[in-house]
């Protein structure tokens, strides 16, 4: 049999996918699983967005569009960037793809040379790492801690950039920690980046509208316009508008970057769905007030869940500033044993214990380059979230600990 690409040897399958697979298997066996593993809003896509898609189908808008999106959706995205972020982009500086995830992957391939380095904070989204490795580049992690709110400092970022650095990847609010950089914090990072004019900056802003405690969103291109000529700002409709299955992501940046990105996309994809583009236009141009209502709902879930986890005798949990996740530490569980005598040596052991013994699905911190932690999603129906949290704390209390 012919060999597969040696590139596959560089990375492992996503640990998040492993949990999804095992969870699906147990559900297929008829078990009730309290699934807190998936980063998908539990709200329904707004009705006016669905109606726009139906109208597009009825009017025959079901053909190819330009590979980088129609002029109509680019215009809507330009309006969004001006309205929400104070950023002024022309249609030639905007690109649309079938989801923010493939768009980010194509962006890394466009910007990172083989064997170069991409700097990013850890904990981090596993797919950010996979995208870097598929491009033939290498991740260079800036390790963050609970003490820094899981945020990079300007000093740590500056120290991580080397002559091999091609890209710095920012993600705020963060998956998995919910860490959210303020305007002032981004100003500090921008000062470090200003000293490296040959480094591209990619800003993953997908959780922009999910902020807590009255925070305001800030993005690097708006914070420091002098860097805008080397910033790609990436966003999408999946998280904000509960449109995960519609698969529309978008980005804006200097035209030379966008032209290069389109060159890659022209060989890797046809075009985004024409029907989904029509729906996304309705989302971006339509009512926005419900976004705050949804964020408030997530905040209530966050507060309730963090308080419950903190009552557990062996878990720590920082308070996320945005996004839809909690990232508790299970350091206090290492070395404990289950009722069946199995030892907890890592977050992966704890996560499997939760799933197999307590029917709760979460994701191990090893998937996010930071252990011993685990990630759980608060984008879950209230009753299931509350019961899942109750089971997690009960599972912790059921463990036996060495003296």
Q: Is 347:330 a contact under the CB 8 Å cutoff?
A: yes
Cα→Cα distances 34→26, 342, 354, Å:
11, 22, 10
Cβ-contact 373, 327 below 8 angstroms: yes
Does the pLDDT of residue 119 top 80, yes or no?
yes
The rounded percent of the chain whose pLDDT value lies above 90 is 91
Q: Kindly state the tokens that stand for 379.
A: 């984008």
The model's pLDDT over 376-400, given as tens digits with 9 standing for 90+, comes to 999 999 999 999 999 999 999 999 9
385 shares its domain with 259: no
Mean per-residue pLDDT over the chain, rounded: 95
13 and 37 together in one domain: yes
What pLDDT, on a 0 to 100 scale, did the predictor assign at position 370?
A: 94
Question: 233 burial class (0-12, 13-18, 19+ CB within 10 angstroms)?
Answer: buried
Residue 6 binned pLDDT confidence (cut-offs 50, 70, 90)? confident
Q: In this prediction, what percent of the chain has a pLDDT beyond 70? A: 99
Tokens of 42: 């539990």
Residues 70, 210, single domain; the answer is: yes
| Final residue in a domain of this structure, among 285, 319, 337 | 285
Instruction: Give the span between the Cα atoms of 347 and 316, in whole angstroms.
Output: 13
Q: Determine how β-strand 360-361 pairs with β-strand 34-35.
A: parallel
For residue 84, the enclosing domain spans 47-285
Check residue 86 and give its pLDDT: 98
Query: Is 109 a domain residue?
Result: yes
Please report the pLDDT score of residue 265 as a whole number. Answer: 95
143 backbone dihedrals φ, ψ, rounded to 5°: -75, 125
Contact 53, 277 (CB under 8 A): no
Residue 15 — very low, low, confident or very high, per pLDDT cuts 50/70/90?
low
Q: Residues 32, 58: one domain?
A: no
* Alpha carbon 43 to chain centroid, angstroms: 18
> Which CATH number goes with the domain that contains 342?
3.90.1150.10
Torsion of CA 387, 391, 393, 397, to 10 degrees: 150
Read off the CATH number of the domain in which 238 is found. Answer: 3.40.640.10
Q: Which pLDDT band, with edges at 50, 70 and 90, does 313 fall under?
A: confident
Please tell me whether residues 137 and 16 are part of one structural domain.
no
pTM, two decimal places? 0.96
**249 and 105 in contact (C-beta within 8 Å)?**
no
Structural domain includes residue 403: no
Query: Kind of pairing, strands 200-204 and 249-252?
Result: unpaired
138-179: pLDDT as tens digits: 999 999 999 999 999 999 999 999 999 999 999 999 999 999
Tell me the three state secondary structure of residue 44: coil
Q: How far apart are the C-alpha atoms of 336 and 330, rounded to whole Å? A: 11
How many structural domains compose the chain?
2
């Amino acid at each position: 049999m012919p060999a597969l690409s040696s590139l596959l040897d560089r990375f492992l399958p996503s640990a998040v996918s492993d949990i999804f697979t095992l969870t699906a298997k147990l559900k297929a066996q008829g078990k009730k699983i309290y699934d807190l593993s998936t980063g998908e809003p539990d709200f329904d896509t707004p009705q006016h967005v669905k109606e726009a898609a139906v109208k597009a189908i009825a009017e025959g808008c079901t053909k190819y569009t330009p590979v980088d999106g129609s002029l109509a959706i680019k215009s809507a995205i330009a309006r969004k960037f001006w309205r929400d972020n104070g950023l002024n982009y022309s249609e030639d500086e905007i690109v649309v793809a079938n989801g923010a995830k493939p768009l980010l992957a194509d962006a890394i391939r466009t910007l990172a040379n083989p064997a170069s380095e991409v700097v990013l904070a850890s904990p981090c989204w596993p797919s950010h790492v996979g995208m870097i490795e598929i491009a033939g580049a290498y991740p260079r992690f800036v390790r963050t801690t609970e003490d820094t709110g899981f945020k990079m400092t300007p000093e740590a970022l500056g120290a991580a950039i080397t002559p091999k650095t091609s890209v710095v990847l920012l993600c705020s609010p963060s998956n998995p920690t919910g860490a959210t950089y303020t305007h002032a914090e981004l100003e500090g990072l921008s000062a470090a980046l200003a000293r490296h004019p040959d480094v591209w900056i990619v800003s993953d802003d997908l959780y922009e509208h999910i902020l807590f405690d009255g925070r305001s969103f800030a993005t690097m291109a708006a914070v420091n316009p002098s860097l805008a000529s080397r910033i790609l700002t990436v966003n999408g409709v999946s998280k904000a508008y509960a449109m995960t299955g519609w698969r529309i992501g978008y980005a804006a940046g200097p035209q030379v970057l966008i032209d290069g990105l389109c060159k890659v996309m022209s060989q890797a994809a046809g075009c985004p769905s024409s029907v989904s583009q029509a729906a996304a236009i309705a989302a971006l141009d339509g009512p926005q007030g419900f976004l705050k209502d949804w964020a408030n709902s997530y905040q209530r879930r966050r507060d309730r869940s963090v308080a419950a986890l903190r009552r557990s005798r062996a878990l720590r949990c920082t308070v996320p500033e945005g996004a839809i996740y909690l990232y508790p530490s299970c350091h206090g569980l290492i070395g404990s044993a289950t009722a069946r005598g199995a030892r907890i040596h890592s977050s992966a052991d704890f996560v499997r214990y939760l799933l197999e013994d307590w029917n709760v699905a979460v994701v191990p911190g090893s998937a996010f380059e930071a252990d011993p932690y685990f990630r759980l999603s608060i984008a879950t129906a209230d009753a299931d979230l509350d019961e899942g949290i109750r089971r997690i704390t009960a599972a912790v209390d059921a463990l036996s600990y060495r003296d």
